[in-house]
Amino acid sequence: MLPFYLGEHVMGLVEDLRLFVLVVENGSISKAAEKLRIAKSAVSRRLALLEERYDTRLVDRVPGVWDVTESGHELYHRALQVVGEIDEIEDDFANTSADLTGPLYLSVPRDFGIAFLNDVLISFKSRHPEIQLAVDFDDRTVDLARENYDFAIRITPALEGHVSGERIGTVQHRLYASPAYIAAHSAPKCLKELRTHPLLHFRTARRAVWSFEADKGKPISFPFQPFLNSNSGVLLLEATRKGLGIARLPDFVASEDQAAGLLVPVLSDIKIPSLEIYLVHAETRRLNRRMRLFAQFIKQACLSER
């Protein structure tokens, strides 16, 4: 156990860092003093002591000038993490009997979110109305640390970037066409014949590449010029239903239509590499109770669908 005087020292430092965060975020010593309900002179004195402790200027403050220094910016970002972790510890252990209040920001791929996660997210919010859930449906790769997202869901072969994550599922892709299209054009029997058909591609590049696997797992690259490009799986699904061509669609988009007989698989014997579904967070982020609760809930929802 830490000596009592050392505990007081650490807690005093944490409060000074919390004060410094307020000063930077408000861009003013006086505004920080108002929020803390203490005298402006007290904030100035504690800021000066913090600069003395680290032997560096944190804020340039002369008449007409108020600017956070490079050292000040570095300390601010590190202090933000420390203060945040202390607050999360307080939430987790000092208030274990309290409601799980607070925000939870989530970024999910548009089509996957709409096709699969809508009911899951609504169910989570219904069970935990005190959590302020905010969900961004967007296919772009968000910067979890800079954009203040708690979690993102990514569908990818492997994780990249400064994130930590857990695999919560797998997405399979297949080639599909409508029964009417097959009746009118006949199904291709090999990749060479596939080139003679109009192909519908998820993305917007003029030239596209689909990846397949040979019998022994050897990758096969299949470049082509798409008949239709779109970043909307819903549009590609509808175009395939209407007989515009053959599309490579994920199971969460096409499974219901296949079961209903509205789509039929094409070249079923050719394997398409699967993608993994990850629930990710910034690698420096510690999971608070809200995040842990959501992670457990969504993992269970994905497991129940397998």
Q: Which of 265, 306, 294, 297 is nearest to 134 (CA)?
A: 294
- Domain range 4-94, CATH class: mainly alpha
pLDDT tens digit sequence for 158-201: 887 778 888 998 999 999 999 999 999 999 999 999 999 999 99
**Alpha-carbon distance 72 to 49, whole Å?**
14
Please provide residue 197's backbone torsions phi and psi, each rounded to the nearest 5 degrees: -105, 150
The residue type of 177 is: A
Highest mean pLDDT among 112-121, 212-221, 284-293: 112-121
Task: Say if residues 305 and 277 touch (Cβ distance below 8 Å).
Answer: no
pLDDT tens digit sequence for 90-130: 766 665 545 578 889 999 999 888 888 889 999 999 999 99
Domain 103-168+276-304 and domain 173-273, same fold? Reply is yes
What homologous superfamily does CATH list for 173-273? Periplasmic binding protein-like II (3.40.190.10)
Domain 103-168+276-304 = CATH 2.60.120.10: no
Q: Is the pLDDT of residue 274 over 50?
A: yes
**Alpha-carbon distance 306 to 292, whole Å?**
22
Domain segments of the chain as ranges: 4-94, 103-168+276-304, 173-273
**Alpha-carbon distance 141 to 135, whole Å?**
14
| pTM of the predicted structure, to 2 decimals | 0.66
Q: Is the pLDDT of residue 47 over 50?
A: yes
Highest mean pLDDT among 6-20, 141-155, 188-202, 210-224: 188-202
